[in-house]
Amino acid sequence: MTLWNTYVGFVKENPIASSAVQVALLGTLGELIGCKLRGRGFMPFSPPQLALKVLVWAFLGVTFKYSFAGFFGFHEALVAKGLWPSMGDGTLWRALSVSTFTNLLFGPVMMLFHRWTDNWIEKAPMNWSTLQSAWKTLLWFWIPAHTVTFSLPAHFQVGLAALWAVALGVILGLFARKA
């Protein structure tokens, strides 16, 4: 059995646990890379802080799995009731619709929770201006990225979302270096 087959088997058989593991590992990695790129060093957290951050990322991974499934159901219900156009059975329209709903309705709350937990872990005050900048990524990064994500089978969606988190950490870290 190949590593790929093992991965696919794991995410199919353990959707909640695999979501927690993937997002815990990749979300934390993205955060650490972003810290390094912003000049804070690769490991600016104490071991207890890092452990708490991994746990928060794992929790977020579980919420991603549930919210992704829920927003597909939300989209289907709106279409069935005639409240949202179906545009045929096109995967791209469905993926864009689910991405838009997910990022505009779930995204801001999730980001606020994540920022609050980060501030609590790091004993830092809330910076509302940087949170507003983070919310803007929902429009220019996350809606397009999750449109691709939601075009995939459900068992690959959280894994790709976690990879996108690494990519965004790199992008934002590079922007912060130039600022």
| Pair 19, 64: CB distance under 8 Å | yes
Q: What is the pLDDT of residues 95-143, one digit of tens each?
A: 999 999 999 999 999 999 999 999 999 999 998 988 898 899 999 999 9
Q: What is the pTM of this model?
A: 0.92
Tell the burial category of 102 from Cβ atoms under 10 Å away from its Cβ (0-12, 13-18, 19+): buried
Least confident of 52-56, 74-78, 134-138, 154-158: 134-138
Q: Which residues of 143-166 are buried (b: 16+ CB within 10 A; e: fewer)?
A: bebbbebbbeeebebbbbbbbbbb
pLDDT given for residue 179 in this prediction:
54
Greater confidence, 172 or 131? Answer: 131
Taking only Cα atoms into account, the Rg of the chain, rounded to an integer number of angstroms, comes to: 17
More confident residue, 148 or 35: 148
- Of the pLDDT bands very low, low, confident and very high (cuts 50, 70, 90), residue 80 is very high
- pLDDT-based confidence at 41, cuts 50/70/90? confident
Q: How large is the average pLDDT for residues 29-35?
A: 91
What are the sequence ranges of the domains in the chain? 49-160
**Cα–Cα distance for residue pair 173/167, rounded to 1 Å:** 10
Q: Return d(Cα 153, Cα 13) in angstroms, integer.
A: 14
Share of the chain above pLDDT 90, in %: 79
pLDDT band with cut points at 50, 70 and 90 for residue 37? confident
- Taking residue 12's Cβ as centre, other Cβ atoms within 10 Å add up to 13
